[in-house]
Amino acid sequence: MTSPADPSPTAVRLEVRSAALRVDDGPHRSAPQLQVLLVRSADSQGWALPGGPIDGATDIADTALTSLREQADVAAVAHLEQLEVFSAPHRVPGVRTVASTYLGLVRPQTPAREAQWTPARGAQWHDVEAVPPLIADHAAIVAAAHHRLAGKLSYTNIAFALAPSEFPMSELSGIYCAALGYPVDTTNLLRILSRRAVITATGGVRRTRGGGRPPALYRFTDTSLRVTDEFATLRPPM
Amino acid sequence: MTSPADPSPTAVRLEVRSAALRVDDGPHRSAPQLQVLLVRSADSQGWALPGGPIDGATDIADTALTSLREQADVAAVAHLEQLEVFSAPHRVPGVRTVASTYLGLVRPQTPAREAQWTPARGAQWHDVEAVPPLIADHAAIVAAAHHRLAGKLSYTNIAFALAPSEFPMSELSGIYCAALGYPVDTTNLLRILSRRAVITATGGVRRTRGGGRPPALYRFTDTSLRVTDEFATLRPPM
């Protein structure tokens, strides 16, 4: 260790990498699937997470968003948060490269959910359950993003960033199921999310072509992250 | 943006900084106080958070722990977690310096809580409410650490890392109060933490010299971080 106040330059390179996740429910699927956005690495070494080096002037979160937009045409990220720093000494061959990583959540393309995806430079969404081989430790970054998302689903309103603006509960439970990897009971989900005011009924219903009662529509009450189950006793006095 | 797979080296320096927090309840105090560990910067520019440059070979968390030990004689950190990356372009004059930051929690020095603190190189604990001027953006790092701690107190068992191994509830509510900055009702705290099995009665009592009924002792059930209020419906099926 050197002095705490005057660090000398070291041979460390800093990059940003983003695991952007969405839930896809295309017409060819039997159930919605969680997907991660991957780009082809320039030298064809394999698939990679969007990102790149951090330069001397730009904010890191801006660099993350810029790389998603420029490398994969993803312009709207509903929620972005930092994940761990990935810094194993030999994670990238050559100069030590430390990655500041992000979890990004992208809403489904509603209402035209079947609209054609137009990727830049070979960017493509892949099911998290079947990602192709990734360069360096990018698979571990995807796993960290998935783990963070699954954890926060259980104590925050983070699903707002994966859901369309309005939805029937069956669609929302499909999103939870895709992100968590196991079935979620729609009735219970409605009960716990309503009780905590995470979701609100819009008063509308979804018109369907078939018969039967059209399902009620809901929306997320907030569209920024909120812990939904705080110990009430620990809240500041009013 | 350059290609995602082959980032070129950039003039960015990487450092680690740790905001180590503890609750102090020395005999001269009227109430326990949250404190942060500061070190004198080598060039006397002011107080700084322990830390230093990240080199090409060492794990960043190890670097954080090493700097706490070498710069401030703090050898036992009960909980360490990453905070944000601080990366404003001009946060440090000269070469762009990006800080990977940590929140560290340190237990009180029990049972000898009044033992003399023996700092290395001018390291000193300061009340968070009255920190002296800090170099660069270190005050913002302290604020982020305090904010993270206060947030996690409301939905995790993180207080395990601030508490002694056994404690009467009045002591624990003093720790919560110091970390949160407002009074916490001891009876309510016992109720919510017991109901969630965050704390467990040891069966013992604290022997006191005075009269009255000796208070029951408790301990934290787990000594690693656990979210305590997950939506039960979202847990994996058994």
Residue A1 lies in a domain: no
Confidence check: pLDDT of B224 > 50: yes
CB B27 within 8 A of CB B114: yes
Which pLDDT belongs to residue B115?
40
Confidence check: pLDDT of A99 > 60: yes
CB B19 within 8 A of CB B104: yes
CA distance A190 to chain B (A): 10
Mean pLDDT of B53-81: 90
Which among B154, B185, B200 is the end of a domain?
B154
Residue B6 lies in a domain: no
CA distances (Å), origin B66, targets A5, A106, A121, A185, B73: 15, 39, 43, 48, 10
Residue A161 lies in a domain: no
Which pLDDT belongs to residue A9?
46
Test mutation, A55, A96, A153, chain B, max B CBs within 10 A: A55
CATH number at residue B36: 3.90.79.10
Lowest mean pLDDT of A89-98, A199-208, B185-194, B207-216, name the range.
B207-216
DSSP annotation of B227 reads: B
The pLDDT-based confidence of A44 (bands split at 50, 70, 90) is low
Which pLDDT belongs to residue B236?
65
CA distance A120 to chain B (A): 12
Which among A109, A125, A154 is the end of a domain?
A154
Higher pLDDT, A138 or B213: A138
**Same domain as A139, residue A178:** no
CATH number at residue A190: 1.10.10.10
Q: Which of B60, B95, B96 sits opposite A85 (nearest CB)?
A: B60
**What is the percentage of chain A residues whose pLDDT exceeds 70?**
85
Question: In chain B, which among 39-78 make CB contacts under 8 A with chain A?
Answer: 39, 41-43, 45, 48-60, 63, 66-67, 70-71
How far is Cα A74 from Cα A35, in angstroms, rounded to an integer? 14
Residue B202 lies in a domain: yes
**Same domain as B199, residue B101:** no
Could you give the number of structural domains in chain B? 2
Buried-state track A81-95, b at ≥16 Cβ within 10 A, e below 16: bbbbbbbeeeebeee
How far is Cα A106 from Cα A79, in angstroms, rounded to an integer? 7
**Same domain as A201, residue A109:** no
Which pLDDT belongs to residue B1?
42
CB pairs under 8 A between A and B: 211
The pLDDT-based confidence of A111 (bands split at 50, 70, 90) is very low
Higher pLDDT, A152 or A116: A152
CA distance A97 to chain B (A): 9
Mean pLDDT of A78-100: 91
How far is Cα A148 from Cα A105, in angstroms, rounded to an integer? 12
**Same domain as A115, residue A20:** yes
Whether A12 sits inside 8 A of B11 (CB atoms) is no
**Same domain as B174, residue B107:** no
Residue A233 lies in a domain: no
Mean pLDDT of A111-140: 75
Question: In chain A, which among 77-116 make CB contacts under 8 A with chain B?
Answer: 82, 84-85, 87-89, 95-98, 100
How far is Cα A19 from Cα A36, in angstroms, rounded to an integer? 6
The pLDDT-based confidence of A114 (bands split at 50, 70, 90) is very low
Residue range of the domain that includes A200: 166-220
- Whether pTM exceeds 0.90: no
For all residues of chain B together, what is the average pLDDT? 86
Minimum Cα–Cα distance from A226: chain B residue: B151
Cis preceding-peptide flag for B108 (omega within 30 of 0): no
The pLDDT-based confidence of A218 (bands split at 50, 70, 90) is very high
**Same domain as A84, residue A174:** no
B123-140 per-position pLDDT tens digit: 899 999 999 999 999 999
For all residues of chain A together, what is the average pLDDT? 86
Mean pLDDT of B160-186: 95
